[in-house]
């Protein structure tokens, strides 16, 4: 069987074109945060240097490059229960606005008290293939109401809602809806904390069946400086 030179050139071109496409996909995954997100943010108040130092060490350990986001702070609580509550809402909203303005596809947002399971990297690698094919609006690294769950049965499931926002991600498909809903919440007489205004009625929300992250002990800045212990669920 003989091949014409043109056939060989066309076959070679298709082969290298396909190879190049795969290399672009692999490079894209390699350069994304945790193989999935365009950017990661960590919210931190300017005066909380020690918290940021500790958070930086933890994030380096699990291989998460991030951009520090200076938390929005207020001297008065406005219509919120406390000034920290107001600042938290404003900070998360500001990040989503920035992500939309910069045309990012997805962002991971964390607070500086986030902690990770010892085997976080291994657990994340187990769910990453499913996450790469998941059509989500909001993804949380935990379901705060889930006090059980076993890592050996780890999978991604839809949830109604959750509490706290120390490790969550948002896809660009939901940027506009998030911003509109968050601003509407701020206009109410008693604004809810930002984690309480999104449910599966307006968003596709997912979380793992085993909580991959938690919150460190210390002082809650959202709950009027109330002391809190290390916790992996509510």
Please indicate, yes or no, whether residues 19 and 68 belong to a single structural domain of this protein. Answer: no
Please indicate, yes or no, whether residues 19 and 95 belong to a single structural domain of this protein. Answer: no
Please indicate, yes or no, whether residues 20 and 70 belong to a single structural domain of this protein. Answer: no
Determine the pLDDT at residue 14.
54
Please indicate, yes or no, whether residues 19 and 87 belong to a single structural domain of this protein. Answer: no
Reduce the DSSP state of residue 213 to 3 states and report it.
Answer: strand
Answer whether 130's CB lies under 8 Å from 155's CB.
yes
DSSP character at residue 114:
E
Quick check: is 234 in a domain? no
- pTM of the prediction? 0.84
Quick check: is 233 in a domain? no
Please indicate, yes or no, whether residues 173 and 191 belong to a single structural domain of this protein. Answer: yes
- What domain range is 14 assigned to? 1-31
pLDDT (tens digit, 9 = 90+) per residue, 122-157? 999 999 999 999 999 999 999 988 877 778 889 999
Cα dihedral: 148, 152, 156, 158 (round 10): -30
Q: How many domains does the chain have?
A: 2
Please indicate, yes or no, whether residues 170 and 205 belong to a single structural domain of this protein. Answer: yes
Determine the pLDDT at residue 83.
80
The CATH number given to whatever domain includes residue 141 is 3.90.550.10
For strands 138-140 and 167-171, give the pairing: antiparallel
Quick check: is 84 in a domain? yes
Please indicate, yes or no, whether residues 149 and 62 belong to a single structural domain of this protein. Answer: yes
Please indicate, yes or no, whether residues 86 and 4 belong to a single structural domain of this protein. Answer: no
Q: What is the pLDDT along the chain (234 residues), one digit of tens a residue?
A: 554 545 444 545 555 655 555 454 454 456 799 999 999 999 999 999 999 999 999 999 999 999 999 999 888 888 888 888 889 999 999 999 999 999 999 999 999 999 999 999 999 999 999 999 999 999 999 998 887 777 888 999 999 998 889 999 999 999 999 999 999 999 999 998 888 899 999 999 999 999 999 998 877 666 566 777 788 886
């Amino acid at each position: 069987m003989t091949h014409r030179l043109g056939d060989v050139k066309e076959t070679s071109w298709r082969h290298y074109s396909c190879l190049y496409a795969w290399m672009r996909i692999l490079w894209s995954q390699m350069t994304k945060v945790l193989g999935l997100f365009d950017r990661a943010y960590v919210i931190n108040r300017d005066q909380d240097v020690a918290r940021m130092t500790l958070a930086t060490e933890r994030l380096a350990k699990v291989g998460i490059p991030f951009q520090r986001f200076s938390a929005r702070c207020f001297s008065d609580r406005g219509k919120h229960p406390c000034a920290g509550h107001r600042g938290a809402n404003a900070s998360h909203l500001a990040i989503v606005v920035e992500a939309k303005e910069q045309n990012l596809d997805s962002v991971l947002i964390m607070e500086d008290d986030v902690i990770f399971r010892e085997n976080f990297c291994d657990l994340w690698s187990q769910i990453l293939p499913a996450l790469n094919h998941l059509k989500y609006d909001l993804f949380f690294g935990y379901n705060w109401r889930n006090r059980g769950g076993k890592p050996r049965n780890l999978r991604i499931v839809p949830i109604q809602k959750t509490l706290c926002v120390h490790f969550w991600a948002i896809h660009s498909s939901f940027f506009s809806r998030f911003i509109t809903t968050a601003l509407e919440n701020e206009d109410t007489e008693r604004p809810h904390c930002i984690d309480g205004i999104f449910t599966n009625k307006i968003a596709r929300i997912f979380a793992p069946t085993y909580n991959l992250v938690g919150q460190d002990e210390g002082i809650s800045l959202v709950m009027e400086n109330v002391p809190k212990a290390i916790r992996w669920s509510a």
